[in-house]
Amino acid sequence: MVELVPISPLWGVVLRIRTRAVLGAIAVAVIALGPTPTPAVAADTPLDRHKQECNSEKPPWPAPADPYAASAAAGIQMMDPKDIVMHIHAHVDIYDRGEKVTIPANIGIDAPGKKVSYLHTHDETGVVHIEGPQWQDFSLGQFFTEWGVPLRPDGIGGLCADDENVVTTYVNGNVFYGDPASIIFRDHDQIALVYGPPGYQPPIAATYDWSAA
């Protein structure tokens, strides 16, 4: 605040500027606070992803419309069949509370373009063709990613474990206790994913009849 203070008749008046302490304190506080921060956006958590996946489609699950995008999502490629060096097969069964889920034909196949992905199906038998231009490992998780069906220890797509149902995995007739997505395909593996009440077990084959494949 500017205040006129008389000093003496000889000198007239001079200006003395008095700054109140409270105004200074307010200015300091405003500077210290700075601009109002933007609210942080919550990160995508595993629980969020779990909820999203559990809200995804229930079976049946169709083959992806774009095999190129689907194979790229799984970290694999489409190729010309003449370039195949590795060629093995595995069989996959899926059960939803006793009902067998169909694995569709033509996952990973571009028939007009005459290309196939490293992991593909020709029919609805559950036989997965594992092929590549060189020998390497491919996982069950990659196949399900290509298919567009999330696979986790507690869920297959929208079939999620709850108070009444669990997911149990079998490889060649034996219970597999790890993450099913981590299973590496071996030639003539028989893999079964079972969703149902704890203790429920449909007829689980230890092998598949490859004579008809």
pLDDT at 17 over 80: no
- Supply the pLDDT for residue 196: 97
CB contact set of 152 (below 8 Å; sequence gap of 6+) = 50, 53, 167, 179, 180, 181
The burial of 77, by beta-carbon neighbours within 10 Å (0-12 exposed, 13-18 middle, 19 or more buried), is given as middle
pLDDT band for 64, please (50, 70, 90 cuts). very high
User: Is the distance from CB of 137 to CB of 88 less than 8 angstroms?
Assistant: no
Mean pLDDT across the stretch 39-51? 56
Q: How far is CA 147 from the centre of its chain?
A: 12
The CA distance from 155 to 22, in Å, is: 63
CA contacts within 13 A on the Cβ side of 6: 3
Collapsed DSSP state (helix, strand, coil) of residue 95: strand
Summarize pLDDT for 80-133 with one digit per residue, the tens.
999 999 999 999 999 999 999 999 999 999 999 999 999 999 999 999 999 999
Summarize pLDDT for 135-167 with one digit per residue, the tens.
999 999 999 999 999 999 999 999 999 999 999
Residue 113: which of 86, 75, 89, 81 has the closest Cα? Answer: 81
- Supply the pLDDT for residue 68: 99
User: Is the distance from CB of 119 to CB of 79 less than 8 angstroms?
Assistant: no
Give the chain's end-to-end CA distance (angstroms, integer): 95
- Supply the pLDDT for residue 49: 62
